């Protein structure tokens, strides 16, 4: 299984049974060297919440490839109304897909879609994290979240092989809280996400990774690791 950090919170996962992308934010991200055209055919798009820097390229990718959009029920309904193939879920629920199992976990954040023209905020359901079981490996993408103590339970119950944790601060937990999250999760590998895309979330990812006793791994946008 190949994991590519596209940038921000966007993760490309290439497996023997299909290609997934989490929170596609590419067109509006000046920090990534990749474009949508650089992506392989995507079979499923997994969304943690409705903010623009996590869903921006959902529709063009789904329309290009016929990808299934997996999201919290309200957000799935929103994209279903746009003609996309969707699968709605809720916090605590899991579902087995052709590529593996997805379970939605809690996350402490917001979730909405902003209609600037109408100056309207559209409710997009609860924010979520994602627990993926694929090819015998467990991947935890925390989504946008604050630190919460049930991360310890997530670690105890799932023993993640890879944890993708936001470190940007301001909108999510910062490096100190992410370090605590990593200790509770006890993941074999921890990769920081959701940082440096905007001035307000600039962080030293190398410093963060160095404090994880060999478990931290920094991926620059476009870089890949094999899991």
Strand segments (E) across the chain:
2-7, 10-15, 18-22, 44-46, 68-72, 86-89, 94-97, 100-106, 112-115, 120-123, 128-134, 137-141, 162-166, 189-193, 224-226
Question: Could you report the per-residue pLDDT of 38-84, keeping only the tens digit for each?
Answer: 999 999 999 999 999 999 999 999 999 999 999 999 999 999 999 99
Statement: the pTM of the whole predicted model exceeds 0.95: yes
What domains are there in the chain, each with its CATH number? Answer: 2-218 (3.60.15.10)
Cα–Cα distances in angstroms (integers) from residue 14 to residues 5, 95, 177, in the given order: 12, 19, 30
- Alpha-carbon distance of 90 to 162, in angstroms, equals 22
User: Which residues, including other chains, have CB under 8 Å from residue 11's CB and lie 6 or more apart?
Assistant: 3, 4, 5, 21, 22, 23, 141, 164, 193
Average pLDDT, the chain: 97
- In 3D space, the residue among 165, 174, 145 whose CA is nearest the CA of residue 49 turns out to be 145
The token duo for 70 is 């997996």
Question: Could you report the per-residue pLDDT of 95-130, keeping only the tens digit for each?
Answer: 999 999 999 999 999 999 999 999 999 999 999 999
- Alpha-carbon distance of 227 to 184, in angstroms, equals 21
For 220, other C-beta atoms within 10 Å of its C-beta total: 12
């Amino acid at each position: 299984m190949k994991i590519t950090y596209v940038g921000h919170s966007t993760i490309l996962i290439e497996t023997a049974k299909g290609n997934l992308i989490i929170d596609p934010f590419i067109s509006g991200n000046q920090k990534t060297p990749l474009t949508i055209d650089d992506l392989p055919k995507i079979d499923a798009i997994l969304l943690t919440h409705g903010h623009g820097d996590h869903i921006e390229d959902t529709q063009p990718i789904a329309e290009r490839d016929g990808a299934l959009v997996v999201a919290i029920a309200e957000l799935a309904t929103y994209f279903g109304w746009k003609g996309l193939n969707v699968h709605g879920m809720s916090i605590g629920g899991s579902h087995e897909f052709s590529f593996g199992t997805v379970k939605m976990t809690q996350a402490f954040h917001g979730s909405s879609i902003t209609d600037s023209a109408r100056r309207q905020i559209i409710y997009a359901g609860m924010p979520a994290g994602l627990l993926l079981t694929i090819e015998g490996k467990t991947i935890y993408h925390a989504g946008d979240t604050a630190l919460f103590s049930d991360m310890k339970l997530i670690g105890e119950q799932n023993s993640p092989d890879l944890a993708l944790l936001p470190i940007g601060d301001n909108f999510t937990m910062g490096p100190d809280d992410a370090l605590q999250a990593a200790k509770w999760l006890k993941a074999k590998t921890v990769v920081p996400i959701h940082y440096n895309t905007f001035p307000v979330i600039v962080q030293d990812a190398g410093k963060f990774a160095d404090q994880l006793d060999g478990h931290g791994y920094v991926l620059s946008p476009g870089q890949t690791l094999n899991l």
